[in-house]
Structure 1
C-alpha cells in the first residue's frame, strides 16, 4: 500500500514541533482552526489559531519564549499514521513531565484538513483524561 503524502508531511510537522519551529507550525494551521484540548484543567477547551500558538508558547519547552514553560519535558512519539486528503489519524505515545509529575499514555490524535491541506480542527483522544487533568493541576 502506498503511503499518502500527508503521512510524511505530518512526520515533518511533528519534527518541527519537536524542535520549536513555530513558523512552520503556524503556516500549517488554518486561520479558522479549532483546537480541542480534552479535560477539565486550565488548558482544556476549544482554541483558535492564535490561542493555540499562545498555548504552545506557555506549555511546551521548545516554544517557550519566557524560559519557564509549564511542561519540563514534552515528547510525542508517532507510533502509526494514516492519512487522506481531508484527515490524518495518528496513534501516539505522550510522555511529558512537570513538577515531579509524569503523563505517560498512548492515545490518538485526529486532524481535519481544509481544502488547502491546513489543519482546521484537532482532537486528542486518551483513555484516562483524569490523569491528564491531574498532570496539569
Structure 2
C-alpha cells in the first residue's frame, strides 16, 4: 500500500525537520507572521509566544538552557484534513545536573498552507516545570 502524506502533515514534518537541524529560516517560512505558540505550565518556558520572532526566540532559549542537548523524536503526525494537525513526540534535554525525557505533543492550526497557531502539551506539567525552573 502506498502512503500519500496529506499536505498539512508534510508541512508539520518539514517543521520538525527544520527545528531538529536548527534551520530557522525554513521554520520562519512555515509560519504566519502572527503565529502563536502556547506552552503549558508555569516555568520560565511557559506562556504564549506571539509572532514568528518571539517563537523563534523561544526555540532558541530551549537550546540555550539545555546547552544544545534539546532533541525531539517524532512518533506520529495526524492531520484532520480541515486545517489541523496533531503531532506526538518524545523530547529530551539536559540542564545542569539533571536530564529529562518526556512524551508530548503539538496541536497545529494551519491557514493558507502555513502554521498559524500551536498548542503544546506535555505528559507531566509539574515535572516539565521543575526541569525548566521558575518563571523569571
TM-score, scaled to structure 1:
0.85
> Counterpart in 2 of 1:70?
65
Q: Per-residue deviation at 1:57?
A: 2.1
**CA RMSD, aligned part only?**
1.6
> Counterpart in 1 of 2:75?
79
Q: Which runs of 4+ in 1 moved over 6 A?
A: none
* Structure 2 Cα separation of the partners of residues 134 and 104 of structure 1: 13
Note the 1:1-137 alignment, pairs <5 A: 2-49=4-51, 50-60=53-63, 69-72=64-67, 73-83=69-79, 84-114=81-111, 116-137=112-133
Unmatched segments (≥5 aa) in structure 2: none
Aligned residues: 128
8 A Cα contact 1:96 1:103, kept in partner: yes
* Structure 2 Cα separation of the partners of residues 113 and 93 of structure 1: 22
